[in-house]
Amino acid sequence: MMIDTTQIITVTEANQNFSRATRIADEKGAALVFKNNRPKYKLTNLEVEPDLELTDDEKIDVVARRIMNRFKPAFLELAK
């Protein structure tokens, strides 16, 4: 993975100056947040990064999983 050094921001700096982190993400497409001198998080501009878009089927799967987790006891009772 090639890292552009202009995309790097530390956790402390991101915490104290989040607008700078978002500005980097806007300009470069992503900001890499380092913790203990290692890349830990990636702040991505969703308008630029098309890989994070979900299809309709994926959206349905996410919602169905949330409903199943939230109402699992009720579904188990209905299954009896």
pTM of the shown model: 0.59
Kindly indicate the confidence band of residue 50, based on its pLDDT and cuts at 50, 70 and 90.
low
- Greater confidence (53 vs 72) lies with 72
Question: What mean pLDDT is predicted for residues 31-58?
Answer: 83
**26 contacts 45 by C-beta, under 8 angstroms:** yes
Please enumerate in sequence order all residues whose Cβ is within 8 A of that of 10, keeping only pairs 6 or more positions apart, or say none: 33, 34, 35
Q: What is the mean pLDDT of residues 17-23?
A: 95
* Domain that includes residue 20, residue range: 5-79
**What is the pLDDT, as a whole number, of residue 9?**
95
